[in-house]
Amino acid sequence: MVKIAVAGGTGNVASEIIEALLSKDKHQVVVLTRKDAPTDPIVHPDITYVKVDYNDKASLTNALRGVHTVLSFIVVHLDHGSVAQKNLIDASIEAGVKRFAPSEWVSSNVTAVPWYVEKETVREYLREVNRERTVLEYCLFQCGIFSNYLASPHKTAKHLLLLMLPFDFQNCRAIVLEGRNDIDSVTFTKVQDVADIVAEAIDYEGEWPLVGGIRGNDLTIGQILALGEKIRGKPFAVETVTLEDIESGNVNTSWYPVLEHPAIPKEEIESFSKMALGGTLIGMAKAAYTIPTDEWNKLLPSYKFVDIEEFLSEAWSGKP
């Protein structure tokens, strides 16, 4: 049994992973949260909630005493200068934490996606603190896009919030970059698979890889569209935009994915959603959502990932 601290642990992805950790019935989980108390806490004998101030390294260090592994889910685009995560890393080292996972969980190429750029800041900080010798073992868990999003608006996970993608299976439509259907690809991994892999990684006796690719299914844009049409039984209405349109801010589509998330203020949802559409498409063109390595697939070869076609066929079965 080890004690695991989860920073930003009241978030939706963190909650999925916490459930997987607790299902093993052998680990203690400490959820670090800025709130006095979560509105809908996970109830389990082996979970506790601790209010922390990420600007106070001394209190963070005290909260991490006796912790073996820290998993971070701090929202990176709200952590300006990566102050919270840097302090969390410093406190982990001071408290004697063995393993650390920064707030990654999606993309490998973070420089192509504007709201992920602070992840590179944290990567560089981890490299720097370990430059002379390893003082904190860490792994960048990267899994691409959660395949559960393609089932939106139908819930296929207990906690994961449903985000719309440029591939709208509900309304059989899509927005893609012109001429790139057979060039660009996306790694899709079911969130439950990611949670299970992380839970297995906690028990992994070897050294964690610095980069921890988790690959469920790799699909080109054309394959995603074909899969959608096969599962939904009708052709998709596909609108195309060019890189030039996106870079000039001249994206005129009949619809756009609306991103509703607690980290996005309501008054900013429209502007952020429109910006995110362009950023997502550019990210796909620059392979930001294609996970180039599969370290955890190889380290845990007995784990069987969910096939995306089987998953989505079941998720959409009987749906109008």
Q: What is the pLDDT of residues 250-304, one digit of tens each?
A: 888 999 999 887 778 888 888 888 888 998 999 999 999 999 999 999 999 999 9
Percent of the residues in the chain that have a pLDDT greater than 90, as a whole number: 84
Coarse DSSP helix, strand, coil percentages of the chain, rounded to the nearest 5 percent: 40, 15, 45
Question: DSSP 3-state assignment of 311?
Answer: helix
Annotated domain spans of the chain: 3-138, 145-188+217-290+303-316
CATH topology of domain 3-138: Rossmann fold (3.40.50)
Query: Class for domain 145-188+217-290+303-316, per CATH?
Result: alpha beta
Tokens encoding 99: 């393993």
Distance of CA 61 to the CA centre of its chain: 26
Predicted confidence at residue 37, as pLDDT, reads 75
CB burial readout 16-31, b (16+ within 10 A) else e:
bbbbbbbeeeebbbbb
Instruction: Write down the mean pLDDT value for the chain.
Output: 95
Q: What is the per-residue pLDDT across 16-59, written as a single tens digit (0 to 9) for each?
A: 999 999 999 999 999 999 988 788 899 999 999 999 999 999 99
170 pLDDT more than 90: yes
Give Dmax (Cα) for the chain: 59
Other beta carbons within 10 angstroms of residue 13's beta carbon come to: 21
Alpha carbons 87 and 274: distance in angstroms, whole number:
33
Nearest CA-CA partner of 295 in 188, 191, 204: 204
